[in-house]
Amino acid sequence: METRDLSKAAIAVIGAGTMGIGIAQLAAMHGHTTYLFDVDAAKSQSALAGLESLLAKRVEKGKMTQMLLDSTLANLSIVTNINELAAVQMVVEAIVERQDIKQQLFVQLADICADDTIFASNTSSISITAIAAAVPNPERVVGLHFFNPAPVMKLVEIVRGLRTAPGITEGLFNLMRAWKKVPVTAKSTPGFIVNRVARPYYAEGFRALQENATTPAQLDFIMREVGGFAMGPCELTDLIGQDVNFSVTQSVYQAFFYEPRYRPSLVQQELVDAGCFGRKSGQGFYDYSQTPKAPVYTLPTIDVNDATNDAALPALVVRGDWRYANGLVERLQAADGLTVTLEEAGVSSIDIGEVSIRLSQGESVEVDYDDAKVMLMDWQADWSQARAVVLAAGMACDADELKLVAQVFARLGVGVIWSADHPGLYVLRTIAMLINEGCEAVLHDIASEADIDAAMKYGVNYPKGPFEWAALLGYDTVLSILNNLQRLYGEERYRASLYLVKKAATCHTASA
């Protein structure tokens, strides 16, 4: 089948909710004759009125021209009888997330529309293959998953079912490019790309809470400040809705026949059972009836009035290859009052007196270094701008040594977040699991490395895609982290993807 040219297609949007009116706005703004249908005609009228008001305000603020507003509204009309959609070339449904209802709609439309009319579902989780199975000419059924709000969010997942015609996915890819979106293609699988690959971001954070290694406010601070994420897992799921996020996790877990990587969290289930859904209920991980409503965490600081802070610090010895933390070494060398010696040989470490600071490889500082003065360090997204570092100190380290290390980092303007022993700590462990999930998706031909990276950056605003992180860390480092986690926990949850194992064997070194 040739690539479908949809540049001038008449488009029908079914469902006048937030997503439906957003998709209709996009189509109309880009010159398509667009029809909006909802079984509740009053809902369509209300949605259109709301859109007119929204666009008028954008014109007032100079963010949109009056000409574009007028053309958008001229291209968009409401239909109250579904039979009026007979001549459209594409239908996009944005209705309730139930497979049977979506199938009923497309079966009904199959009797109304032409045999080659494209039926696109905006589903975020339902199998496109399953939806298409009940529809005449199933090769025309495809997933077209926008992210909310559709006019703003760049990412669109184009999902091919088992029988979806390649010419349709190619045509939609070109159309989304014309709409100035970032399209990615994926095979129909539970969660598609984003809702599948993102699961570890929540799961590993919640596990740290369940193991009493951190608090919600500290965890969110670490993921934002140290990891470079826009929001931490607790505040993000409070925004999404704990009930919604938990339901998606359950759905993916069940759809993958109870794969351990997707197992839901008891911490989150307790919130849901209590009706603590987050912002919309006033209580989730945080109490939104209080002021300030945002999660609060105070970064530990060194007491500037403590005379011992002015005392001379011991010379530092930096050993080995620091790969992704070279920026830290550079800051240590440039800091006032610090003497730094570089030694290429040996295990990568920063030796401060008798203490050895090492980049975590997924070990347990208590199990693997029980009698050594070792501290394990978490990933830091940008050492040139860092103002915090996460460290877990071994049991052999005393209070004076902890204070000494904090004083050294204070010379860099960096505060130390002292963590309980948590293998792989927080950011590094989460990133390793995100990389592993991306590798599994590529192994199973769900999507390409490039599309997975684009999906995670534009769909959930990650600072990097999984394979960009892997290039920085080195696949061998990621493999070591996962192997150590599996060794310590004894769980299949942390088994390394075969794709990752092969990548570690062929391109093991980190990028420069």
- Catalytic site residues? 124, 145, 157, 195
CA distances from 134 to 90, 121, 188, 257, 263 (A): 18, 14, 16, 23, 31
Q: How far is CA 166 from CA 120, 172, 283, 450, in A?
A: 14, 10, 46, 19
| Sequence-separated (6 or more) residues with CB below 8 Å from residue 240 | 278
> What is the C-alpha separation between 63 and 291, in angstroms, rounded?
33
Q: What number of residues does the chain have?
A: 512
Q: Which amino acid is at 171?
A: G
- Kindly give, in sequence order, each residue whose CB lies less than 8 Å from that of residue 247, ignoring residues fewer than 6 positions away: none
CA distance 178 to 184: 14
| Bridge partners of residue 76, in order along the sequence | 34
- Report in angstroms the alpha-carbon separations of 115 from 109, 135, 354: 10, 11, 76
Phi/psi for 352 (5° steps) reads -120, 105
- Which residues, including other chains, have CB under 8 Å from residue 217's CB and lie 6 or more apart? 234, 286, 295, 296, 297
- Per-residue burial over 477-509, b = 16 or more CB atoms within 10 Å of its CB, e = otherwise: bbbbbbbbbbebeeeebbbbbebbbebbeeeee
